[in-house]
Amino acid sequence: MTRRSWLLGWTCITFWMLSCRTELIGLQNDLQQQPRIINGSVARADETRHLVSIRLLRHDNNFGSGHICGGALIAPRKVLTAAHCLYNNQRKRYRRASEFVVVLGTLNRFERRNGTIVSQVSSMAYMHTFSPDSMRDDVGILFLRTGLLSDGVHLTVAPIQLAGQVTPSGRLCQVAGWGRTEQSSLSNILLTANVSTIRLQTCRMIYKSGLLPGMMCAGRLQGGTDSCQGDSGGPLVHEGRLVGVVSWGYGCAEPGLPGVYVDVQYYRQWIEERSGAPSCSLSSSLLILMLCFVVAVGNP
Ligand code: ARG
């Protein structure tokens, strides 16, 4: 082979490594986010069929114990969550898709019943502008290996639609999750709480420059009811449509400090455009490498 073919070969390999870098560098990690919903009530299965539990595979040997975040099924194999759920803060890098397991169709996170779907993650997407420091663009998507059948009618699992319009302030919404409760221990059962959308102006006054575009507040200004650590990634729902994703807050359920959510409407286009393009699956990698080889050899 000539120098030119070597050069071509190396360019291809470099390109492949760059395109796969998030997968390649994602080694084991430990971030333990702690889940909660403060002052909620037990969720009804028919109202939360879109709720998924996102878990770390290696902590889930006792089924349910690996729960780190919530998420919402938005298409048969597509789960919307928070980007920070996909990020290992200790190691300062994204986790690999293979580190996750996603569970659908059970209210009790420890229970695996007939309709429960347990899926591996085939690929993931997140906004590359996400910042763990500012929580800017805290949106992520997981593509499931085994989701719903496309036309599938399922008793306990169903996708939820994204909100089509901006939700005005003062609207009653539901937030749900397996997070810690006011007793500060993880909830075994899915809990839900009623919170209201809060005026952007009010929210800005509270969080000042911490409130970035694409963020919105929901909660109760008198305090007492809120989502909390580990409810992250979970859905905020208004009239059966997904309006927000649990992102951050200052403490939990504190008076005057409502929860901050990802504004789904703001990211709608980005969310809808993502489809399960493999980030770096074995088969696609092999295909690219084979092509590189063919190009290199075919250019003597
Ligand atoms: N960042 C938290 C998590 O990782 C969610 C915090 C929500 N906080 C709130 N006060 N609503 O689970």
**Ligand 1 contact, 227 CB (< 6 A):** yes
Q: What is the CA 97 to chain-centroid distance, rounded?
A: 12
Q: Are residues 186 and 286 in the same domain?
A: no
Expressed in angstroms and rounded, the spacing between residue 286 Cα and the centre of ligand 1 is 40
Q: Are residues 159 and 63 in the same domain?
A: yes
Question: If you search the block for the tokens 């009790």, which residue do you land on?
Answer: 108
Q: Are residues 154 and 56 in the same domain?
A: yes
Q: Are residues 291 and 257 in the same domain?
A: no
Q: Are residues 226 and 215 in the same domain?
A: yes
Q: Are residues 91 and 154 in the same domain?
A: yes
pLDDT at 257: 97
**H/E element, 204:** helix 200-207
Q: Which atom of ligand 1 is nearest to the CA of 227?
A: 11
Q: Which of 23, 29, 139 is nearest to 92 (CA)?
A: 29
Q: Give the confidence band of 138 by pLDDT, cuts at 50, 70, 90.
A: very high
Active site members = 84, 138, 232
Tens-place pLDDT, residues 190-212: 999 999 999 999 999 999 999 99
CA-nearest residue for atom 5, ligand 1, is 229
> Which residue of 247, 250, 260, 261 sits with most ligand 1 atoms within 8 Å of its CB, as the best mutation to test the pocket?
247
Q: Which atom of ligand 1 is nearest to the CA of 34?
A: 12
pLDDT at 22: 38
* DSSP at 6: H
Expressed in angstroms and rounded, the spacing between residue 283 Cα and the centre of ligand 1 is 37
**Ligand 1 contact, 231 CB (< 6 A):** yes
Q: Are residues 97 and 17 in the same domain?
A: no
**Ligand 1 contact, 248 CB (< 6 A):** yes
Q: Are residues 252 and 286 in the same domain?
A: no
Residue 2: exposure state from Cβ atoms within 10 A (0-12, 13-18, ≥19): exposed
Q: Which of 258, 178, 172, 177 is nearest to 210 (CA)?
A: 258
**Ligand 1 contact, 226 CB (< 6 A):** yes
Total of domains in the chain: 2
Q: DSSP letters along 85-113, please?
A: GSEETTTTEEPPGGGEEEEES-SBTT---
Q: Which of 28, 59, 74 is nearest to 242 (CA)?
A: 74
Q: Give the confidence band of 153 by pLDDT, cuts at 50, 70, 90.
A: confident
Average pLDDT over residues 49-53: 97
The domain that holds 91 is classified in CATH as 2.40.10.10
CA-nearest residue for atom 2, ligand 1, is 229
Q: Which atom of ligand 1 is nearest to the CA of 250?
A: 10
Q: Are residues 86 and 14 in the same domain?
A: no
Q: Are residues 27 and 38 in the same domain?
A: no
pLDDT at 274: 93
Range of the domain at 269: 32-273
Q: Are residues 117 and 196 in the same domain?
A: yes
Tens-place pLDDT, residues 69-111: 999 999 999 999 999 999 999 999 999 999 999 999 999 999 9
Expressed in angstroms and rounded, the spacing between residue 9 Cα and the centre of ligand 1 is 46
> Which residue of 228, 260, 262 sits with most ligand 1 atoms within 8 Å of its CB, as the best mutation to test the pocket?
228
Q: Are residues 247 and 204 in the same domain?
A: yes
CA-nearest residue for atom 3, ligand 1, is 229
Average pLDDT, the chain: 86
pLDDT at 149: 80
Expressed in angstroms and rounded, the spacing between residue 230 Cα and the centre of ligand 1 is 6
